[in-house]
Amino acid sequence: MKFKNWIKTIIFYEILVGMKATLKHLLHYRPITLQYPHEKRSLPDSYRGMLSLLRYDDGTEKCVGCDLCEAACPSRVIKVISAEVPGEPTKRYAKEYYMDMTRCLFCGLCVDACPVDALGMTREYEWAVYDKRQLYLNKEQLLAIGDRAFPVREKRLELQHPNVAFFNVAFTHLPPKSS
C-alpha cells in the first residue's frame, strides 16, 4: 500500500487523472455556452419580464386609476395620478402613470393586485439603456410595450360573460336587457 502510494507520487498520478479529465472534455467537446446576442435561451413559461399597461380590444385603456398597484409595490416603482373620465363622472382612469424601472424587482405583486388585469408582465428583458432616465417610463411608453407584447386583447369586462362582475362602467355601452 505504501509502495503503491509512492509509485502514485512519483508518476504524478493525481495530475494525470486531472489531465485525463480535461482531455476528455476536449475530445468530447460539447459547449454549454449560448452565443447570446445571436442565439437566445428559451424562457420559462412563468417568466416575469418588463411591465406593461394593457388595453381592451376596442383600444380603451384597462386601467381604472385605483392606485392598488401603487399600494402593492414593495419598492415604490409605480406612481398613479387618477382622474375622472371627462364627461363621465362615475368612471375613473389613470391620467398619468409612471414606472421607475430602475427600482423594479419584477416581483409581480402589482399584477396580482390589479382588479381589472390592466397590468401585464411581458417576456422582454433586453432593457439596457445608456441613460437611466430612459427607464422612467410614462403611460404612453407602458401602453406601447403592452401593445407590442400582447397583440391578442381582451373584450371589455361587461361584454365577456353575462355573469361577470364589473364596475367602473358607464352603462350606455351595455346591450339592452331582454326582459
Partner 1 sequence: MVEVGVKIALSLTQIAVVMGVVLLTVMFLTLAERKVLGWMQDRMGPMEVGPYGVLQPVADGLKLFFKEDIVPAGANKFLFSMAPILALVPALIGFAVIPFGPDMTVEVFGVQFKPFVITDINVGILYILAFTSIGAYGIILGGWASNSKYSLLGGLRSAAQVISYELNVGLAIVGVLLLAGSLSLVKITEAQTGWFWNWFIFAPPFPQIFAFVVYIISAVAETNRLPFDLPEAESELVAGFFTEYSGMRFAFFFLAEYANMILVSCIAAALFLGGWNAPAPFLQFHGSLAHLLWLSGTIWFAVKVYFFLFLFFWLRATLPRLRYDQLMRFGWKVMLPIALGNILITSIAAYLFPRS
**Could you list the residues that contact partner 1 (CB under 8 A)?**
15, 18-19, 21-23, 25-26, 29-33, 35
Contacts of 154 (CB under 8 A, 6+ apart): 54, 56, 57, 62, 117, 160
For residue 6, the minimal CB distance to partner 1 (Å) is 14
Rg of the chain in Å (alpha carbons)? 28
Q: Which is nearer to partner 1, 32 or 128 (CB)?
A: 32
Q: Which is nearer to partner 1, 21 or 83 (CB)?
A: 21
For residue 129, the minimal CB distance to partner 1 (Å) is 23
Cβ atoms of residues 73 and 110 within 8 Å: yes
Is 72 buried (19+), middle (13-18) or exposed (0-12) by CB count in 10 A? middle
For residue 81, the minimal CB distance to partner 1 (Å) is 46
What is the three-class DSSP state of 142? helix
Q: Which is nearer to partner 1, 15 or 152 (CB)?
A: 15
Q: Which is nearer to partner 1, 28 or 177 (CB)?
A: 28
Instruction: Using the structure block, give the residue that is written with the C-alpha cell 493525481.
Output: 14
For residue 15, the minimal CB distance to partner 1 (Å) is 7
DSSP 130: S
Q: Which is nearer to partner 1, 26 or 128 (CB)?
A: 26
First to last CA, the chain: 98
For residue 29, the minimal CB distance to partner 1 (Å) is 5
